[in-house]
């Protein structure tokens, strides 16, 4: 397994490839992402253990979307079974994916718990959808402090798991090695990943501004709410499609089997 060093402009290339691939198979990829979100939502509403189960499934589900993107780039129609790619390669890989899921769950819940120490859990309840945020709540220093604590802890967690599922699946790595090489790859190609993240954030803000501006021009407050969900669904699908290209270009091409 060889790590490739890419120039900073590659971050923009990954976004273009993700968007282009989405428009090759828009219905298939959007449908798979909707299925992914539905599974995560259903899992998360289970009493007591729902959130932990949803977080544990996230690495495997992300791999499934990457596998679907790979199918689309090779001219094939991504089928729903691709979402289960992490669990279809034998007990060894299944065990490795479950370990990754467990580790991610511990890291995510740990970051959320530490942020709750700052504001008593207000940010955690908003983030997890249990509370509707108010303007007064969001300008509270404690709330903002909790938000930055979570972001500061979740960022390195994201880098650890960015490529880990793909390295387990396509390169047969152990969970520990996949986490190590994922972090190294992100740090060695820091500027490409920084541009990738910043540009996706800017695109998201642009979509939000366009929707709210259109609603204001038409004088329809409800229009923004009606357009927001499908627009966010499409943007999120394109983002997840672009994740495959960050892996493909950062590491040597995985075997075609």
For tokens 């627009």, name the residue. 231
Q: What is d(CA 70, CA 133) in angstroms, rounded to the nearest whole number?
A: 38
Q: Residues 90-114: pLDDT tens digits?
A: 899 999 999 999 999 999 999 999 9
Over residues 28-41, the pLDDT tens digits come to 999 999 999 998 88
CB atoms within 10 A of CB 147: 19
**Residue 81 pLDDT greater than 90, yes or no:** yes
Give pLDDT, residue 257.
44
End-to-end CA distance of the chain: 16
Give SS3 for 256: coil
Give me the long-range contacts of 83-86 (CB less than 8 A, separation at least 24): 83/32, 83/35, 83/36, 83/39, 85/169, 86/59, 86/60, 86/165, 86/168, 86/169
Residue 36 exposed, middle or buried by CB count within 10 Å (0-12, 13-18, 19+): buried
Average pLDDT over residues 204-231: 82
Q: What is the mean pLDDT of the chain?
A: 91
Cβ count near 74 (within 10 Å): 8
> Is 255's pLDDT higher than 70?
no
Report the candidate in 109, 15, 31, 16 with the shortest Cα–Cα distance to residue 64.
31
Report the alpha-carbon distance of residue 185 to residue 162 in Å, rounded. 9
Determine the Cα–Cα distance for residues 174 and 227; give it in Å rounded to an integer. 42
Six token digits for residue 233: 């669904």
Contact partners, residue 144, CB within 8 Å, separation at least 6: 138
Neighbouring CB atoms inside 10 A of 140's CB total 14
Does the pLDDT at position 170 exceed 70?
A: yes
3 three-class SS: strand
pLDDT at 160 over 50: yes
Q: Give the H/E segment covering residue 19.
A: helix 10-24
Give residue-wise pLDDT tens across range 117-126: 999 988 998 8
List phi, psi (to 5°) of 3. -90, 130
Rounded CA-CA distance 22/72 in Å is 8
């Amino acid at each position: 397994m060889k790590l490739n060093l890419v120039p900073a402009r590659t971050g923009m290339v990954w976004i273009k490839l993700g968007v282009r691939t989405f428009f090759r198979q828009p219905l298939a990829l959007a449908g798979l992402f909707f299925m992914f979100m539905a599974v995560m939502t259903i899992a998360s509403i289970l009493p007591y253990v729902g959130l932990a189960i949803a977080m544990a499934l996230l690495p495997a589900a992300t791999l499934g979307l990457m596998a679907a993107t790979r199918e689309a780039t090779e001219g094939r129609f991504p089928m729903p079974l691709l979402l289960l790619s992490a669990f279809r390669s034998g007990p060894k890989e299944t065990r490795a994916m479950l370990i990754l899921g467990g580790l991610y769950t511990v890291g995510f819940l740990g970051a959320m718990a530490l942020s709750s120490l700052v504001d008593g859990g207000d940010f955690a309840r908003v983030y997890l959808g249990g509370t509707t945020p108010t303007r007064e709540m969001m300008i509270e220093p404690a709330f903002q402090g909790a938000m930055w604590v979570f972001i500061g802890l979740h960022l390195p967690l994201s880098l650890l798991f960015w490529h880990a599922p793909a390295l387990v699946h396509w390169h047969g790595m152990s969970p520990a090695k996949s986490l190590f090489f994922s972090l190294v790859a992100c740090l060695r190609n820091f500027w490409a990943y920084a541009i990738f993240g910043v540009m996706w954030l800017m695109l998201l803000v642009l979509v939000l501004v366009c929707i709210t501006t259109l609603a204001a021009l038409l004088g329809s407050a409800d229009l923004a709410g009606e357009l927001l969900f499908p627009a966010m669904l499409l943007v999120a699908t394109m983002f997840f499609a672009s994740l495959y290209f960050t892996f493909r270009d950062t590491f040597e091409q995985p075997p075609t089997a």
